[in-house]
């Protein structure tokens, strides 16, 4: 799909003209707008006939729709992965803080003589 788009030098009408590569940099809401516009164009060009063959314009629109849909799906998946990683990192930091507190408490509970020995060993 992307090879075909790059060979065709496929462009999308959004605030001027943007290439397939440019789509990766757009906000998800912008991509959604492009997707809706492409679907509207597709509905407008298809008509109601069961006998008419698909035109080259329809195939182009279907390719554009597929590309935008794929990019949105990938970006949503990346966002979910980043969110999961952030949550895991926060949980790890919390656990490390609790471990540190417990270790500090163990040191506080030690008799003074043992603390002095530990200091002398350093």
Span 109-121, pLDDT tens digits:
889 999 899 899 8
Mapping DSSP onto H, E and C, the string for the chain reads: CHHHHHHHCCEEECCCEEEHHHHCCCCHHHHHHHHHHHHHHHHHHHCCCCCCCCCHHHHHHHHHHHHHHHHHHHHHHHHHHHHHHHHHHHHHHHHHHHHHHHHHHHHHHCCHHHHHHHHHHC
pLDDT at 96: 96
pLDDT confidence band for 49 (50 / 70 / 90): low
pLDDT at 66: 94
Please state the pTM of the whole predicted model.
0.70
């Amino acid at each position: 799909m992307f090879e075909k788009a790059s060979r065709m030098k496929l462009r999308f009408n959004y605030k001027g003209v943007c290439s397939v590569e440019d789509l990766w940099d757009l906000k998800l809401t912008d991509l959604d707008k492009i997707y809706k516009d492409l679907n509207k164009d597709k509905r407008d060009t298809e008509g109601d006939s069961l006998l008419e063959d698909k035109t080259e314009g329809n195939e182009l629109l279907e390719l554009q729709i597929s590309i935008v849909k794929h990019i949105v799906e990938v970006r949503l998946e990346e966002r979910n992965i980043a969110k999961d990683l952030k949550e895991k990192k926060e949980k790890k930091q919390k656990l490390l803080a609790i471990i540190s507190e417990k270790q500090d408490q163990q040191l506080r509970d030690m008799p003074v003589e043992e603390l002095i020995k530990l200091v002398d060993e350093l």
